[in-house]
Structure 1
Amino acid sequence: MTEGAPSIFLIILLGFVLTLLMGSFIVLMALLHRKRQLEHIQKIDALQSEFDKTMLRVEKEIQEDTLTHVGRELHDNIGQLLSLTKLTLSSNKPEKSIEAKSLLNQVIKEVRGLSKSLNLDWVSHVSIDDFIKRELAKLEALDFCKVEFENIGHAFEIDNSKKLVLIRVIQECLNNAIKHAKPSLIILKIHYFPDHVQILVSDDGLGFEIGSSCEGSGLLNLSKRMEMIGGTILINSELQKGTQIKLKLPSSMI
């Protein structure tokens, strides 16, 4: 009985040590799991914060473009209509009053259209297809270059915040072509696949070297914006042979 006591004591001690080690291991694993959870939450918060900042920048840029457009319309279009209305009203001919009323109705219509453009809520009421057609129609109206548009597949709805970023990226692609490429033709194709939407913006302009510093910052900005909404951008360009920009947004991110 006395001889067996040390063995029992050792067994109890060993069991206690093993229990202590097991408990320590469990606590350590719980702490590591909690640490990973906190790091994951912090990462998500950082991504959300960056996304919110990107959205604010995009909204600001679109509003600035819109205000520029409004200023141009007020000066060139509505201002001209009002001047014409004033001249018409100054006439003593009865038929001129009818013409003046028609001009005033046109002015009211134009002002209402401008007021809508100042509100970014229009994003929820316009599809990517309609937006592209509208932008290309502007180029055609200016007689800047020839344009082509192709739509393939069944369109699906895109989240408004992601749509706004995508709209801005498309605008930038077109603006870059207008400012730098001097193209005779701009082609824009949108293809709706089951798992993603793909937009191709191509021109037959001057092209550029992908690695050039003057283009690098702008392209990096476009790439970051596509990354923020879960998409990708692929750019191919060659001097004197034009530029092709492919935007891809998975449907799982929409």
Structure 2
Amino acid sequence: MNGDVTQIFFIVVSGIILMLLMCSFIVVMVLLHRQQQFRNRQKMDQLKGEYERTILGVEKEIQEQTLSYIGQELHDNLGQILSLTKLTLSRPDPENFSEGKKLINQAIKEVRSLSKSLNLDWVKEVQLSQFIQGELQKIENSGFSKTLFETNLEHLELEQDKKVVLIRIIQECLNNTMKHAEPELITILLREENNTLTLILKDDGKGFHVAEDHSGMGLHNLKSRIETIGGTLNISSIIGIGTEIKLLLPIE
């Protein structure tokens, strides 16, 4: 009889211990799950904050770049037109008066064009291919080097934030090329295949050692920015041959 009681007591105690262990296991799993959820929320908040900082920083840089361009245009282009207008109108004859009116109309057109660039509304309206063509045309007009643009895209719909980041990356790459590469030809290829946008910027300039990154944190910043919008960036360069920057961005 005592043996039966002992056996029942052992079974009950074992059951209680097993139940406590199962409860403890469940509690631990719940706590671990909540910790994982908390870490995931922290990571998502961090990624969101990094994304927002990147977009704000890029927008600020584009505005600064635009203001610099406007200042240069006011000094070199519009200033020259107005000076020529003043010189033309200083000689009062019908032919000069007609030419002066043309110059004034040209100056008004230039002012209107520049005023549209003072905010980022143009980013919403411009196609990426149009922007690239415009930037390359500026380089050619300056006499810096020859340029070439090839694309298989007639129309590309991009989210504005992604377009802003791509525009800034293109500006930064072209600026670095003009500062350091001394090329004779700058080439940009823009393609879309299998829901992936491919952008390749090439030059036949001096080249550099990619591992050393002569532009300080420039390459790191470029890679960080494209990664923020879900893309990747690869850079290859050969001394005396040139540099190629390849961006891949998944798109819908």
Task: Give distance in 2, aligned partners of 1:123 and 1:51.
Answer: 18
Bigger drift between 82-91 and 26-35 goes to: 82-91
Cα-to-partner distance string for 1:9-52 (whole Å, 9 max, x where unaligned) = 33333222222221221111111011011101111111121222
Query: Which residue pairs with 2:130 in the alignment?
Result: 130
CA deviation after TM superposition for structure 1 residue 213, in Å: 4.7
Question: Does the CA contact (< 8 Å) of 1:201 and 1:246 recur in 2?
Answer: yes
Are residues 1:238 and 2:238 paired? Answer: yes
Are residues 1:146 and 2:159 paired? Answer: no
Matches within 5 A, 1:92-171: 92-94=92-94, 96-152=96-152, 155-171=155-171
Task: Give distance in 2, aligned partners of 1:238 and 1:68.
Answer: 32
Query: Which residue pairs with 1:28 in the alignment?
Result: 28
Cα-to-partner distance string for 1:93-152 (whole Å, 9 max, x where unaligned) = 356555444333322221121111111121111121111111111112122211111112
Pairs aligned (count): 252
Aligned amino acid, residue 217 of structure 1? M
Question: Does the CA contact (< 8 Å) of 1:155 and 1:192 recur in 2?
Answer: no
Structure 2 CA distance for partners of 1:153 and 1:103, relative to 1, 3 Å: closer
Task: Give distance in 2, aligned partners of 1:95 and 1:28.
Answer: 92
Question: Does the CA contact (< 8 Å) of 2:207 and 2:241 recur in 1?
Answer: yes
Query: Which residue pairs with 1:201 in the alignment?
Result: 201
Determine what percentage of the aligned residue pairs are the same residue.
Answer: 52
Cα-to-partner distance string for 1:62-114 (whole Å, 9 max, x where unaligned) = 11111111111111222233333344455543565554443333222211211
Task: Give distance in 2, aligned partners of 1:51 and 1:153.
Answer: 27
Are residues 1:221 and 2:221 paired? Answer: yes
CA-atom RMSD in angstroms: 2.2
Cα-to-partner distance string for 1:169-209 (whole Å, 9 max, x where unaligned) = 11111111111111111111111012311111111111112
Bigger drift between 16-25 and 127-136 goes to: 16-25
Structure 2 CA distance for partners of 1:76 and 1:216, relative to 1, 3 Å: closer
Query: Which residue pairs with 2:175 in the alignment?
Result: 175
Question: Does the CA contact (< 8 Å) of 1:124 and 1:160 recur in 2?
Answer: yes
Aligned amino acid, residue 146 of structure 1? K
Q: Taking structure 2 as the reference length, what is the TM-score of the superposition? A: 0.90
Aligned amino acid, residue 133 of structure 2? K
Question: Does the CA contact (< 8 Å) of 1:183 and 1:203 recur in 2?
Answer: yes
Structure 2 CA distance for partners of 1:182 and 1:188, relative to 1, 3 Å: same
Question: Does the CA contact (< 8 Å) of 1:237 and 1:243 recur in 2?
Answer: yes
Question: Does the CA contact (< 8 Å) of 1:153 and 1:193 recur in 2?
Answer: no
Question: Does the CA contact (< 8 Å) of 2:208 and 2:214 recur in 1?
Answer: no
Bigger drift between 86-95 and 74-83 goes to: 86-95
Task: Give distance in 2, aligned partners of 1:102 and 1:148.
Answer: 33
Bigger drift between 36-45 and 92-101 goes to: 92-101
Bigger drift between 178-187 and 81-90 goes to: 81-90
Q: Structure 1: state its 5+ residue gaps.
A: none
